[in-house]
Structure formats: C-alpha cells, structure tokens
Structure 1
C-alpha cells in the first residue's frame, strides 16, 4: 500500500472529523486555492480565499488505484475554502479522496497536501 496513503490515513486516526482539534481556529485566515497542487506547487493558477463566515481551508488529496500494481498512488491535491470539510476519506471505485481541513494559520492547507 502506498506510504503516503497510510500517512494520510494515520492523520485521521489522530484527528477525528478531518480537522485538527488541537489547533485553535483563527478568523479570517487566508487559504490557498488551486485545482491541481503537486510537489509543493500549483500546476494551475494559484489564488487565495478567506475563512471568514465559518469557512475553513481544505486540502483534498486524490489517489488512483492501479490494476497493474494493485496499489493506490497519489495523483494530486485540490486546495480550497469550504463551509464543511466533509468525510475524512471518500472511497470511489478507482479513486480515494482524503480531506484535511485547517484554520490555524495562513495557507495551512498547503501544509496538509499529501504531495
């Protein structure tokens, strides 16, 4: 099994609900917005959004299953602002999506991108 997927999965064992409970929420944090974030940089236009009005920063890491290798491999992350983080892990037929939300510092969702 992919080590990055196991790392992401272990985060959710420690952080119920997909949002770190040990960190405090700071109103008005700026989040990164990017449709395809990989290896620490945005592959498309990088923008920002604000966590005001009960929003949080979210990092969604996407994994694709390979029939050939019988393993999950990381493809990219999507960074945005949302009102609710959603389920920590979403299982689809050939994809897994790992959601991590934060609001403790500016651009914290870049830190949680599992790329």
Structure 2
C-alpha cells in the first residue's frame, strides 16, 4: 500500500512540474498591455505582463478636452501591470485619466478599457 501511495505521489509531482511546494503560492495574473487601445483593438505595442494578485492590471482611459463637442472626448486607453492603481480619476487642464484596476483573472483589464 505504501509503495502504491509513493508511486502515485511521484507521478503527481512529475505531472505538476516538480517537487510539491510548501506554504502558500502567490498567484500570478497575466495582464494585457497596450500603449494605445481603441475600439477593441491595440494600435501600439500589444503584449502581456505578469504581476502578483495583490498588485494588478490597470486600464487607463484618456480623455481630452474637445472644443468641437465643448467637453471631454475619449481618445484611447493604455493597459499595463502596476504596483498601485493610483487615483481613480485624475483631472488636468486639457485631459483627464480614468484608472480602473483588477486582478481577479488573466487579461481582466481588457474589459475595463472604456473604448
């Protein structure tokens, strides 16, 4: 019986990719990265980055003030890995940034891009 248990444990470890790890494993999350995301497509530097769950993925939507519409117009979103999300909304003279962070699943920041 013990031999069967050890054989089963050995196979399990091999299939998992190595020795069993002691303690809690910190979960990693894969974030989408893109310098300019608009209308569901990445226009510049598409990729991914890996971060820890306690940190996160950020989608930062950029709005510029438009004289034509006399208000804020969406221009693009930037997606990246971050240590801290920062302020939810940052107002500047001619633009504003809307930060939305997540870490619940891989590439969660795509759905937060306000495009």
Name the TM-score class by shorter chain.
0.7 to 0.9
Which aligned segments of 4 or more residues in structure 1 are displaced greater than 2 angstroms?
Answer: 52-55
- Which runs of no fewer than 5 residues in structure 2 stay unpaired? 1-25
Please, what is the CA RMSD of the aligned residues? Answer: 1.5
Segments of 5+ residues of structure 1 without an aligned counterpart are 1-25
Quick check: which one's strand share is greater?
A: 2
Write the distance in 2 (CA, Å) between the matches of 1:49 and 1:57: 9
Query: 1:104 matched to which residue of 2?
Result: 104
- Bigger-Rg structure (1/2): 2
TM-score normalized by structure 1?
0.73
Matches within 5 A, 1:84-95: 84-95=84-95
- Corresponding residue number in structure 2 for 1:43: 43
Greater relative contact order (CA < 8 Å, ≥ 6 in sequence): 1
Aligned length: 90
Cα distance change, pair 29–82 in 1 and its aligned pair in 2 (3 A): same
Give the whole-Å Cα distance in 1 for the aligned partners of 2:105 and 2:53. 16
The equivalent of 1:7 in structure 2 is none
The TM-score, its normalising length taken from structure 2, stands at 0.73
Measure, in 2, the Cα distance between the counterparts of 1:114 and 1:73. 12
